[in-house]
Chains A and B, each alone.
Chain A
């Protein structure tokens, strides 16, 4: 059977989580690989959450917030926007592939878009295969 990635999604309550709900009420299907964790604002997403998820076996992480300018807290998503490129830099140094961590904006009315994002991400990560961070750490000490 083919590899099914585990994806953790951090969604802001006001736009993206509502958008994901809309995908539901509109019955727009998407792969079941994503498990959504709700935060009030994308600015609450500490990059530590992302590495923690990866370290605990997530094959990918999705971060969604309101579109720039539309933040329920007026500017929270800009903070998320500022953190992301630095986080990517850091993950690159660890050898985490670019496609495994994505940040994007989903409004409350973009159920369709949310479904498309999850579908695309899932396909890309399926292609990448399982995240390799984990085993690398484990089998080394006994390495000769």
Chain B
């Protein structure tokens, strides 16, 4: 074992640290600790000269361990690891002591703060003695991709990948491709025909050789890790016994979409009881068939459109479904052009018209004769059957916000703008592909702002409305983004795996299988022949649960070893 040469650096951080911690004092005491070859202080360790100081010392003094006492490692650990790398030292032979966020910024008494800073520094120095050089591993990347869901998102992503020349397995639960978009007539705000949008995708898809479409098919099992997944698909339309098939893939795009809110859950809208209360999707059907009429077959004279059915409501879903407002305006416009004599009233909470072209679309819609009525959240309008004397099917009572009056309006037809909600099987899917979902059931991205289509499981991506309600352009954008992420991975050929993970010492493992169930990523495999467990580094996220739980001390948590932590405990207490 080579003799240790530790370089210790303490940062003033301007005055951020120096004003409460006697930085020089820390430096001097550290210089006395065994194996500390050099101890320095500097105004800003993270600045270029600060980093160069480390680089040079490594080169000139032959340091083989580096400790920086400064801000939080969450701030600059990577910065200094990089400095070590530049100096030719393995970045993991570095340790940081957090004497700013967790010391100088929260304490006022200089003596006390300095003592604590010394303790934290001693902990770091003790710990770094036991650090080991770690190098990233690499694994093969299988270029094939599994796409779950044959809606616009799935189709787009599949096409993107296939056109780039990589095999895609497109899995659709139902008997045909298209998903929800296949149920839509025209789209807001530009009145493109959804039918055309879809048709275009499907024809191009058929033209692409390396997409294999699996209808009536579901994912049954997924094992392995990024670049090396094995998926079991089950196909069966009910009338024949289901067939299972295993495929080898590198990545998965989850594009399982949404389901619309069940309007009958809001009883006072009378959906399912009053014949002419219909949902937006049923109205789309009428539009597609070109026949807008009531049950009795007469064209409606009064049509009311009610927004936020199941959305923005404490009883059902608190979130906004994002597409209903524009769709509602689209209906108003289509009604007016189909039945110019028809009175259309649009009953909304707020008009959400964000996004390209939507505000203009709103303005234009308000020009055609549409009566806009505003109701308050959780004060839904009430629909009742009209009496014989009234010359309409139903009457709707609304507490109108703008006028502040209780208004009663006639209606022959009521269109409920049902919101989006996660599919009932979202939970199962999440479990199958080992990702998580939020309280509403939408799949969670690895970072809501900076990493929207990735998930916490490497190689699993989410696109479209399975992650949250969104319109077609956003959905398509996400589908392409996910595809792009995967293409980049495939282009790299190999995948790099961080050197920090848990490893089982086969000489110590006794096959008790205590750890097997514990890993949230199923990174631990049991070899029944050898009677030993082992960790798949690429799947391991280094949480260390199995390390703490292994009763025979056979599992080592790289960079968080027992030895390192015990040394730190001793250090901070000494």
A interface residues, Cβ below 8 angstroms from B: 6, 8, 13, 17-18, 20-21, 23-25, 27-30, 32, 35-41, 43-46, 48-49, 52-53, 56-58, 72-76, 79, 115
Contact = CB atoms under 8 A, between A and B. Distances in A.
A38 B560 CA distance: 9
A74 B73 CA distance: 23
A25 B101 contact: yes
Interface stretch (B223-231, B359-367, B542-550): B542-550
Interface in B432-456: 436, 456
A79 B545 contact: yes
A24 B545 contact: no
A36 B560 contact: no
A43 B101 CA distance: 24
A52 B545 contact: no
B169 to A, nearest CB: 27
A43 B543 contact: yes
B73, B98, B109, B545: most-surrounded residue (chain A CB, <10 A): B545
Range of interface residues on B (Cβ < 8 Å): 35 or more
B150 interface: no
Given A37-B123, A43-B548, A56 B102 contact: no
Contact of A25 (B105, B115, B545): B105
Contacts of A24: 72, 100-102, 105-106
A44 B113 contact: no
Interface in B497-548: 518, 520-521, 541-545, 547-548
Contacts of B199: none
B569 interface: yes
A43 B560 CA distance: 12
A20 B102 contact: yes
A78 to B, nearest CB: 10
Contacts of B557: 44
Interface in B103-140: 103, 105-109, 112-113, 115-116, 119-120, 123
B572 interface: yes
Contact of B112 (A27, A32, A38, A40): A32
Given A21-B72, A35-B123, A40 B543 contact: yes
Contact of A37 (B112, B113, B572): B572
A44, A56, A79: most-surrounded residue (chain B CB, <10 A): A44
B107 A41 contact: no
A99 to B, nearest CB: 19
A56 B541 CA distance: 31
Contacts of B123: 35, 37
Interface in B233-250: none
Interface in B66-113: 72-74, 98, 100-103, 105-109, 112-113
A53 B565 CA distance: 10
B458 interface: no
A8 B569 contact: yes
B106 A29 contact: yes
A44 B548 contact: yes
Given A18-B74, A49-B565, A32 B544 contact: no
Nearest to A74: B520
B573 A41 contact: no
A48 B543 CA distance: 17
Contact of B106 (A30, A39, A44, A74): A30
29 contacts: A8-B572, A13-B74, A20-B102, A27-B106, A32-B103, A35-B119, A36-B120, A37-B123, A37-B569, A41-B543, A43-B543, A43-B544, A44-B545, A44-B557, A46-B548, A46-B562, A48-B562, A49-B565, A52-B566, A56-B569, A72-B456, A72-B543, A73-B520, A73-B521, A74-B456, A74-B520, A76-B545, A79-B548, A115-B106
A75 B116 CA distance: 33
A123 to B, nearest CB: 16
